[in-house]
Structure 1
Amino acid sequence: MRIKIEVNPAKDGQFSETFLCQEIDGVQKKAQLNIAHFHNLYDFTKETSSVGFDFFLIAAIVYGTDDLLSRELYSYNGWTREIEIEFPVKNIDYWKLAITELEETLGFLTGDVWSITFRQMEVEVLYLPRKNRRKSNIPKYNYPNIEFVSLFSGGLDSLIGVINKLNSLDNGKIGLLVSHFDPTYTGPKKDQTLILEEFEKSFDNKYKHIRATVGLSQRYINGDKITKDANQRSRSILFIGIAAYLLNKVPTSNTILIPENGTISLNHPLTKSRTSSLSTRTTHPYFFRKLQESLEIVNLNISLINPFKLDTKGKMVVDCDNTTILQKTYPLSVSCGKRGHKVHWENRNAKQCGICMPCIYRRAALHKNNWDTDTYGNDLLTLTDMNKAKPDVKALFDYLGTSISLKEIKRNLLVNGSIEISNLDAYANLVHNSRVEILNWIRDKGNDQLKKILKIQ
């Protein structure tokens, strides 16, 4: 599928209208990529001409395109799509050099075949600050005092990562917390806001928070509804693109912290059918490495760091530097990968489904501190009939009930994505430890039927 990008001149107080254009049955259709409240970013950067800004716009377009092209409609094998796209950029001479690396990076991230070209941005002014805006409403930033830049999603992992960094700050230093909000998926914004309200009590004046609003419209401009893919695999590159754009102004660091437990980052497949493109790779170490190589080519020397790449979620919870604040805030965080899909939930008042892998890792991790007290849409621990279980749950129990050696884990990791050989042993141990966390949780809290299936006492 070929996607053309249309960018129109900016209007007062707004980012340029941006459209993703595709041809469907001989008819051109346009979907708007909404980049709203851009002043939140511009107040910090004061520019739209850098390579960092180019990367932000590229990442936003990738995110919108990923959402636009439903795999049900556009994949040739039920999953993989062929995507041809031309990105408009301000610094085209740099980006032309990075085509091959960026294609490989996006291909690994989304599981698709990307064919990329670049063109010189035709529109010179992409954002016009609102003329009548009060100066008192424009925030001021002391850039040299910013000690770190971290992604802040509203999930448990980013919560722990940010608590650890804020807890260790010297007086006068601050952290910059970077978030994303898509109006189609409203949950994360509320999670972030609730956590920040608690942070104001514990970490007052120790952080600044900037949130970007990027999302694809629900309908084409002719009124037809868009069938979205909604997997959000590319959200990680948008998150990083936002942070990279802001990082341009920070003189004290070139690092973006991306807190994510190593188990989810590696995403060891539960079954053979979940390897390759079917296995999500949003924070996989190979994706980080390939993206970093792509950015270095365009002279964006950014270091992408996951401080928990060798840690299980349980280890993160137990080792958090400020358990008091974590205990207050973890109930406000959400880890669920299927929130909002409540049709089959027994408790539709819950915030999290309880049976996706992120939920299961979360519950097993919190159990290590005796904090597994949240309410979930479905309680895996009360399941009595495996025949009625969802496919993900069946796959999990097949995985947990099958003996697997460290050698087999290593082989699976290599098949699922290029892993640095120097870290292979550590990664294999990490996968083993994550299995142990789940089994211990089920042993301590599961019903007799589950224990019988897994042959644990």
Structure 2
Amino acid sequence: MNMVRYVGKTQCDDGAYRRAVDNLEGVLIDWVSTSPNATVSFELDGKAVAPELEGTLLDFTDLGIFIYLADEMVSRAKATDYWTRAIRCLVPVTEPAKWRENQLLLSNTLGLLSGDIWQFDWVPLLFPRSVSRHRQQLPHGFDTVCLFSGGTDSLLGAVQLLREGRKVILVGHQSEGQAASAQKELAEKLCSMFPGKICLVQCRVARSIRKIPEFNLAKKVERSHRPRSFLFLTLGIGIAVRCGIRDVFMPENGLMALNIPLQKSRTGALSTRTAHPSYMINFADLARRITGFDGHIRNPFLTQSKTDMLSGLDPVLSPLVLRSISCARPSRFNDKGVRHCGYCVPCIHRRFALTEAGIDSACHYAFDIFNDFRSTDVSKQQDLRAVVRFATNIANASVTQLQALILSHGYFPPTVGSLIGCSETKDYTPWTDMVQNWARDLLNKLAAVTSSSTRLSLGVPDSGQRIVR
């Protein structure tokens, strides 16, 4: 499918762009006209703000927005292999030559992230786009940007940075109501704990609710949102460069960052490279080449599982952790008064990690998969079964097998710790140890916290019996 970034009727006179606008060739994505089919807005601590990005930096962040919206309109179900899509994009930019020089890197980075084939045609803008102005501007005097989803990992990452004495701009993307409200709630709590040291910038990207936009937008048919991380990072880089900040953090527990497929059939939909080391290396290189960003993009939890992160949790942070969101589908159970389904892979990881911290409670989940497993319908049992099988295989794997598994979802050099982590790494031992310790700990916890009927269904020995060698 062909996607076109609309920049106005007089901003670009390229023939292909003119034909697309005049003859409605392809899907025009528009958030700049007076009747847009998409909306983009920013808030600083709950009040409207204009980032005032310009030139190539504006093109960079706009590309993240464009990719996010384009992804929603191309169904994987119609692809030849029911997954890999071919998406061609016509994008007017300030410096087309720079983008052409880095097109292969961009296509490979997006392909690594989403599993699709991305092709681009770069055409020149006739003159720089006008930048929206607002009474409230981005803050000054901050030294760190931390991507903030409202989840446990980003919360703990923000706390760690604040306790190091940093002044942190949290950057959140409002994809849906629950995540947006969690970001605001947690940011307010952190502001009270670290006054003057933190602020929250949120970006909302959505389809317009206008009944008659200037250009009709194709229906939203894809909900996997694999390129969401690209939007998240382009926003973070845009704000960092605009504010003169060189340190950007993307907190994600190391196990989920590796995101090893639980089984071969899950290599597609449930295995994303959102914070995979190879993706982060590629993105950092792209940001440097396009925007001139000369700082670092780091994951402070590169070699830690969520269980590692919550081990020895400061009791002061317990209420905040419980209000964070991990669920893959948080809005589905608003009527139950909970934010977590309880049975998706992120919820399962969360429950085991909160058990480590001593603060897990079934009342926070729509379904108590640990104790009501057999009474839960089969579709909701699948993820826990897959996690248990995966952990069982990992628990007794050799170092060679573990290393092969770690690299199976994308190669990265063993020295990557100094590039995108917070400490040096010389070999793959930190990752093999993390993965195997997580697996063994999970199986032992499973035996201790689940009902006997659940253990029987999953084939897990009772507590006290030897589970792993």
Into which bin does the TM-score normalised by the smaller protein fall? 0.7 to 0.9
Q: 1:65 aligns with which of 67, 70, 93?
A: 70
Question: What are the equivalent positions in structure 2 for 1:120-199 lying under 5 Å apart?
Answer: 120-122=124-126, 124-129=128-133, 135=135, 138-139=136-137, 141-142=139-140, 145-169=141-165, 174-182=167-175, 185-199=176-190
Question: Gapped runs of 5+ residues in structure 2?
Answer: 11-16, 32-37, 416-426, 464-469
Q: Does 1:381 align with 2:385?
A: no
Q: Give how far 1:279 is off.
A: 2.1
Residues 1:367 and 2:366 are matched in the alignment: no
Please say if residues 114 and 226 of structure 2, whose CA atoms lie closer than 8 Å, have aligned partners that are also in contact.
Answer: yes
Counterpart in the other structure of 1:286: 278
Name the CA distance, whole Å, in 2 between partners of 1:283 and 1:364.
21
Deviation by residue 1:59-81 (Cα, 9 ceiling, x = unmatched) = 111111112212224x2211110
Query: Is 1:2 the equivalent of 2:6?
Result: no
Using the alignment, how far apart are the partners of 1:451 and 1:231 within structure 2? 31
CA distance in 1, matches of 2:112, 2:208: 26
Count of aligned pairs between the two proteins = 425
CA contact 1:80–1:111 (8 Å) conserved in 2: yes
Q: CA deviation at 1:233?
A: 1.7
Q: Distance in 2 between matches of 1:7 and 1:123?
A: 11
Q: Which residue of 1 aligns with 2:93?
A: 89
Q: Distance in 2 between matches of 1:188 and 1:387?
A: 27
CA drift of 1:387 comes to: 7.9
1:442 to partner: Cα distance: 1.3
Unaligned runs of 5+ in 1: 11-18
Identity %: 24
Q: Is the 8 A contact 2:53 2:242 kept in 1?
A: no
Shift in Å, 1:193: 1.3
Pick closer, same or farther for the CA change 1:287–1:303 going to 2, 3 Å: same
Distance 1:306 1:365, change over 3 A: same
Q: Is the 8 A contact 1:152 1:178 kept in 2?
A: yes
**C-alpha distance after superposition, 1:312-352 (max 9, x if no partner):** 101111255xx24411211211001122345xx9x833211
Partner of 1:270: 262
1:260 aligns with 2:252: yes
> How far, CA to CA, are the matches of 2:20 and 2:432 in structure 1?
43
- TM-score by structure 1 length? 0.84
Offset, 1:211:
1.1
Q: Cα–Cα, structure 1 residues 317 and 123, in superposed 2: closer, same or farther, change >3 Å?
A: farther
**Does the 8 Å CA contact 2:2/2:27 hold for their aligned counterparts?**
no
Task: Name the CA shift for 1:70/1:217 in 2 (closer, same or farther; >3 Å).
Answer: farther
1:200-349 equivalent positions in 2, closer than 5 A? 200-217=191-208, 221=213, 226-251=219-244, 253-275=245-267, 279-298=271-290, 299-318=292-311, 323-342=314-333, 348-349=336-337
The secondary structure found in structure 1 opposite 2:224 is coil
C-alpha deviation, 1:437, in angstroms: 3.4
For 2:309 and 2:374, the matched residues in 1 are separated by: 31
Give the Cα–Cα distance (whole angstroms) in 2 for the partners of residues 57 and 209 of structure 1. 20
User: Which letter maps to 1:82?
Assistant: A
Say if 1:32 and 1:220, in contact at 8 Å, map to a contact too: no
For residues 181 and 8 of structure 1, the distance between their equivalents in structure 2, rounded to whole angstroms, comes to 26
Structure 1 residue aligned with 2:54: 48
The answer (yes or no) to whether the contact 1:276–1:416 under 8 Å persists in 2 is no
Q: Which runs of 4+ in 1 moved over 6 A?
A: 222-225
Report the AA paired with residue 54 of structure 2: T
Q: 1:277 & 1:413 partners in 2: Cα distance?
A: 18
